Amino acid sequence: MSFASLRAWCALSILLFATAVHAADDPQQAAPTSSEELYLQALQSIAEGRRTDATAELRRAIEQSPNHAGAWLELALTHCALGNSDEAERLFAVIEMRFNPSPALLELIAQTREQGCSRWDRFSSTVVMASRGYDQNVNQGARTNRYVVDAPDGQVEYELSGDFLPRSDQYTQLSGETMREVTPNGLLGFAQYQLRHNDSLHQYNTSSLFAGLEAPYRWGRWRVRATGTLGLVTLGGQLYQRQGQLQARVVPPLRLPTGMQLNVVGAITYNTFPSLTNFDSTTQELRGHLSWRRGDHTVNAAFGVQNDHALAQRPGGDRKGTYLNLLVRRHMGHGINTELGYSRQTWDSSRVYSPDVIEVVRDQTTQVLRGSVSYAINRQHALVLEARVVRNRENISIFQYNNKQLQLSWQWQLP
């Protein structure tokens, strides 16, 4: 890792550490002391999958308020979910004798006993998607077939061969994602894969596999999710890219309007390209995510800044970029959901792209407009129709391209 990359990573680590220290030192953000505060924090821990933390918080709540019936019940249910059947049964017996529970609570306890607490109830989820689509520009071919360069004797015009012009094709794609709890305190393991096979342009077939771990943490009222990911990408059956990423998502304890949430994400990504020379890089990124939900509507907005440091003599050298993403979702009823998204990515290089050949400092803007409609056949199966339009504009004309894609997918949510 270069000095510049190490410095950026250290800055990110210091920022996250300072956030944690501030959360611990600020009297307003200190750990809750009342039984009700502990109980509410335990409920939040359960929602985040941190059951081990939740049991400790519930015990502290009961120590302070021995007659807190809600804490007793949640502690019993949490022990049951962890597979601690003897402790869960002891707590259920205490609840029945001490609190005279309502018929509804007695029924809940009876159902829990009937289902049993013999093993840890791990969270797991798997989604598989099979797709058929059309891609107007599989190879990201240039908008123009001509390129003009300045030579000592004047301008020279070159004509691009057909391999560098847009080529369309239909494709079949299989993708999926699975995640599963690794520990009772919310550590998740996940894997994502995608296989795309073009009908004719097999040299552009792609596949990818990413796997990693995600762990939730809490400092006072600050919530953090730390993620580590490793990935591989192939192109035309050959290894094209290796990637490793560390990411931290921080949820600050801000008082926002109902239905709104703000996240701050810091990440560092290391990319290597075995089949390319001088293209390895390290990217640092800082993003803000704002989401708002009301009724059947959800709106998400994200903005970020990026620094992409070249680890060798990459054409154009280092790059700085910005990222904007807007997404609107709406539930239409009768199993129909719609999405409309827009993203804008910019990159500004630090040096000319290729001295004596392309004497231009590259300036790139890529915009993507995406829309989809999904229909839920039942709780496990859905059909998804998605359209995508891409506009890549640059000050180097041979890198400019347009693209349109249309894809129909069948989605299967495994139990």
228 with 87, same domain: the answer is: no
Residue 255 sits in the same domain as residue 371: yes
Q: What is the pLDDT of residue 75?
A: 92
Helices (H), 32-102: 35-47, 51-64, 69-81, 85-98
Helix 51-64 × helix 35-47 angle, to 10°: 170
The low-confidence residues of the chain, meaning pLDDT below 70, are: 1-33, 148-156
pLDDT tens across 274-299, in order? 999 999 999 999 999 999 999 999 99
3-class SS of residue 29: helix
Pairwise CA distance, residues 335 & 379, whole Å: 10
User: What is the total count of domains within the chain?
Assistant: 2
Q: What angle do CA 235, 239, 245 make, to 5 degrees?
A: 100
The one-letter amino acid code at 147 reads: Y
Amino acid in position 320? K
pLDDT value of residue 151: 57
At 150 the pLDDT is 60
Has residue 3 been placed in a domain?
Answer: no
Are 55 and 136 in the same domain?
no
pLDDT of the residue at 11: 44
In whole angstroms, what is the distance from residue 276 CA to residue 148 CA? Answer: 26
DSSP 292-339: EEETTEEEEEEEEEEEEEESS--TT--EEEEEEEEEEEEEEETTEEEE
Instruction: Please identify, among 56, 86, 115, the residue that sits at the C-terminal boundary of a domain.
Output: 115
User: Has residue 12 been placed in a domain?
Assistant: no
Domain that holds residue 109: 31-115
Alpha-carbon span 244 to 267, nearest angstrom = 11
Indicate if 155 and 257 belong to the same structural domain: yes
pLDDT computed for residue 282 by the predictor: 97
- With b for 16 or more beta-carbon neighbours within 10 A and e for fewer, the 293-306 pattern comes to eeeeebbbebebeb
At 18, list the tokens: 């300072």
Of the three residues 92, 115, 138, the one that is the final residue of a domain is: 115
Question: What's the CATH number where 350 sits?
Answer: 2.40.160.60
Give pLDDT, residue 101.
85
Sign of CA dihedral 234, 345, 222, 126: negative
**DSSP summary character for residue 202:** G
pLDDT tens digits, 211-265: 999 999 888 788 999 999 999 999 999 999 999 999 999 999 999 999 999 999 9
